[in-house]
């Protein structure tokens, strides 16, 4: 049942119960005959057309990784190293903390080609580089937002305004979930210093059952999931049945979609008590697999555990997994901080791609890697007494993200930036274009997956977006 059909039934119920007296109640009884309650809001749904991707893992690198130090080599920066660029080259450049007259900083990283595709990667990410032929690298991303929270909102919701549904909520709204015992949209976090926080996985004006559920990677996956001492499973079931009956009566009177969400949430939580602990039980994973992800070792343990959880969640039918790793906001100590984040994430990222491929899941799982923007080719120095203090400012006009699997064509580069990485010179890809392409891989026309709110139809791509056909397999 679609959301529109669900709301139509609600409006009929409301009319029949409030405005039609006894005749209305008779009609309502006929309408509800054979129904045990509101439809499951997360039941699997068909997309507009057959999509190649069935699941999404969004590896969200909060803060903006430096593309010219990881994915987009710029030897031309050496010519300008330590010098400011002429005003003609920086005209119209929006910067968060530095001025357009800041000196250029050449990257100290070395790059080399990998795989049959020959895509160049930095020496900081050799493991990810080993999966070059799986990766579609988009070097021509751009955004209007040059500060973190607006940038994250634009990436995740298609708008810099608060209150819109996030990508994971749109996907579960459109497709539902194959998992009956776990949420359709799961959030895993690592690192520290998040900017957007919960606004990256909220449901906005969509019903609340589509928002992301935060999981922990140790102990109870969800806080307070376990029963308190003295409460048996039978006691809990009896209490839930009583609450469900009360909610059901109220739902039949009002047709309020949030009551349906509440009923579904209680039932899902009960089922999760059995299935969620098993999710974190890695005892059946081979030592080879655990070592490949870096589980149990530092500094890869936390991120590696999340990557392995992401694969296990996909295996169990979870539709959308958002992995948030913070923070890549390297205004200072770029070389040290960037290496630290790469040491944490590089090996597990490659392991996830390899594991999805060997288990046959990569073709149907869309993996997305990137942040809300990139970094400037100019230097930011906050402590002039410390030569190692150098970092880079925010740069939304030309940066890199990559995708793999799920209908994307691996082993290729899409787009090109100028010799300094300041602007895009070929195949510009806006955030809305990326979103439209993701939805296409899932089987949706992004202009048709809408939700009516406050008198208009909203969609993830807002008022823009075109599918980037070069990215598609």
Burial 429-451 (b: 16+ CB within 10 A, else e): bbbbbbbbbbbbbbbbebeebeb
Number of other CB atoms surrounding residue 303 within 10 Å: 28
Residues with Cβ within 8 Å of 217's Cβ and at least 6 positions away in sequence, in order, are 188, 190, 280, 302, 305, 306, 309
Residue 402, CA distances (Å) to 104, 141, 175, 188, 434 in order = 26, 10, 23, 19, 10
Number of other CB atoms surrounding residue 118 within 10 Å: 12
Q: pLDDT of 125-158, one tens digit each?
A: 999 999 999 999 999 999 999 999 999 999 999 9
Number of other CB atoms surrounding residue 291 within 10 Å: 14
Tell me how far apart the alpha carbons of residues 449 and 430 are, in angstroms, rounded to a whole number: 19
- Kindly report the CA angle at 359 between 344 and 120, in degrees rounded to 5? 50
Number of other CB atoms surrounding residue 305 within 10 Å: 22
Position 196 scores a pLDDT of: 81
Strands 412-414 and 135-142: parallel
Task: Flag residues of the chain having pLDDT under 70.
Answer: 1-38, 217-247, 250-252, 255, 257-275
Burial class (CB in 10 A: 0-12, 13-18, 19+), 193: exposed
Position 92 scores a pLDDT of: 83
- Block residue for tokens 């001492």: 229
Burial class (CB in 10 A: 0-12, 13-18, 19+), 389: middle
Position 278 scores a pLDDT of: 84
Q: Kindly state the tokens that stand for 448.
A: 């048709």
Position 247 scores a pLDDT of: 66
Position 240 scores a pLDDT of: 60
Q: pLDDT of 275-321, one tens digit each?
A: 677 888 899 999 999 999 999 999 999 999 999 999 999 999 999 99
- Nearest Cα residue to 433 out of 70, 154, 197: 154
- Kindly report the CA angle at 23 between 21 and 28, in degrees rounded to 5? 95
Identify the structural domains of the chain with CATH numbers, from first to last.
Answer: 1-35 (no CATH), 44-218+280-471 (3.40.720)
pTM: 0.85
Kind plus residue range of the DSSP H or E element containing 395: strand 391-395
């Amino acid at each position: 049942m679609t959301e529109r059909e669900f709301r139509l039934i609600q409006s009929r119920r409301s009319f029949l119960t409030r405005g039609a007296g006894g005749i209305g109640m008779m009609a309502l009884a006929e309408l509800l005959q054979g129904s045990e309650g509101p439809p499951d809001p997360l039941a699997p749904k068909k997309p507009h057309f057959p999509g190649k991707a069935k699941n999404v893992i969004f590896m969200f690198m909060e803060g903006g990784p430096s593309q010219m130090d990881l994915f987009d080599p710029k030897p031309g920066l050496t010519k300008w190293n330590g010098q400011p660029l002429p005003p003609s080259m920086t005209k119209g450049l929006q910067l968060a903390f530095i001025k357009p007259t800041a000196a250029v900083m050449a990257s100290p990283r070395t790059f080399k080609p990998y795989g049959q595709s020959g895509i160049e990667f930095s020496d900081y990410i050799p493991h990810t580089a080993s999966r070059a032929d799986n990766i579609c690298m988009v070097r021509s991303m751009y955004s209007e937002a040059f500060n973190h929270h607006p940038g994250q909102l634009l990436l995740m919701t298609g708008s810099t305004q608060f209150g819109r549904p996030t990508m994971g909520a749109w996907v579960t709204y459109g497709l539902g979930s194959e998992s009956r015992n776990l949420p359709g949209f799961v959030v895993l976090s690592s690192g520290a210093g998040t900017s957007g926080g919960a606004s990256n996985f909220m449901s906005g004006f969509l019903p609340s059952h589509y928002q992301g559920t935060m999981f922990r990677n140790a102990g109870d996956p969800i806080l307070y999931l376990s029963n308190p001492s003295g409460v048996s499973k039978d006691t809990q079931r009896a209490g839930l049945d009583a609450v469900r009956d009360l909610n059901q009566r109220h739902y039949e009177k009002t047709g309020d979609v949030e009551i349906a969400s509440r009923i579904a949430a209680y039932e899902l939580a009960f089922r999760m008590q059995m299935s969620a602990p098993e999710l974190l039980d890695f005892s059946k994973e081979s030592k080879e697999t655990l070592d490949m992800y870096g589980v149990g070792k530092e500094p890869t343990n936390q991120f590696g555990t999340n990557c392995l959880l992401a694969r296990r969640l996909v295996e169990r039918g979870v539709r959308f997994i958002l992995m948030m790793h913070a923070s890549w906001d390297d205004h200072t100590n770029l070389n040290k901080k960037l290496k630290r984040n790469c040491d944490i994430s590089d090996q597990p990222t490659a392991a996830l791609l390899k594991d999805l491929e060997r288990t046959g899941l990569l073709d149907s799982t869309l993996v997305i890697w990137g942040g809300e923007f990139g970094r400037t080719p100019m230097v930011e120095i906050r402590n002039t007494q410390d030569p190692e203090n150098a970092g880079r400012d925010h740069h939304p006009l030309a940066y890199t993200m990559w995708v793999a699997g799920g209908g994307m064509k691996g082993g290729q580069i899409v787009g090109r930036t100028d010799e300094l990485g300041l602007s895009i010179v070929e195949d510009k890809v806006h955030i809305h274009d990326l979103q439209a392409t993701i939805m296409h891989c899932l089987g949706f026309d992004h202009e048709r997956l809408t939700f009516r709110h406050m008198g208009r139809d909203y969609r993830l791509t807002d008022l823009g977006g075109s599918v980037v056909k070069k990215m598609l397999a």
